[in-house]
Amino acid sequence: METDHVLELYRKLAPLYEEVYGVEQRRKYWMISSQVGEKVVDAGCGVGIAYEVLQSYVVCLDISIDMLAKARERASCRGDLVQADYWKPPFREGAFHSALFLSSADPKDFGALYERWRRVAARAYFEFRGSWLVLPT
């Protein structure tokens, strides 16, 4: 999907995201909360629900400034916000215990994303429409 189209979609979705997807997304974070480790990057973080659920240091990464603006409302001293495309991870090798891709990536892209992130995080969690893939690096 073209970046401009994605950004426009997320600009419109950001104010409604919590109402439409909040309960579902919280459930996903709770499912993995005890497994993710102390340092987590949430790639395609949306409105930052990870800040509410995870007891880890969380970096919320999203391409959409509108989604990050909503995430900023939840941000705490346990995390940061980064505007970037998850196809171009802007982090050093070994920066995180886990990289999360919850509802943010198409399953056909899991392998390619894993290759881009495998040096950045010790484990990658992929989820899309209830199907999970967890890959240790």
In which residue are the tokens 């603006």 written? Answer: 69
Distance, CA of 87 to CA of 117 (rounded, Å): 9
pTM above 0.85, yes or no: yes
Q: Is the pLDDT of residue 14 over 60?
A: yes
Q: Is 117 helix (H, G, I), strand (E, B) or coil?
A: helix
Lowest mean pLDDT among 70-74, 92-96, 105-109, 130-134: 70-74
Amino acid at 43: A
Strand stretches in 4-55, DSSP E: 39-43
Residues 45-99: pLDDT tens digits? Answer: 999 999 999 999 999 999 999 999 999 988 776 799 999 999 999 999 999 999 9
Q: What is the CATH number of domain 3-136?
A: 3.40.50.150
pLDDT (0 to 100) of residue 103: 93
Q: Cα(41)–Cα(23) distance, rounded to whole angstroms?
A: 20
Give the start-to-end residue ranges of the domains of the chain. 3-136
pLDDT value of position 133: 95
Span between the terminal Cα atoms of the chain, in Å: 27
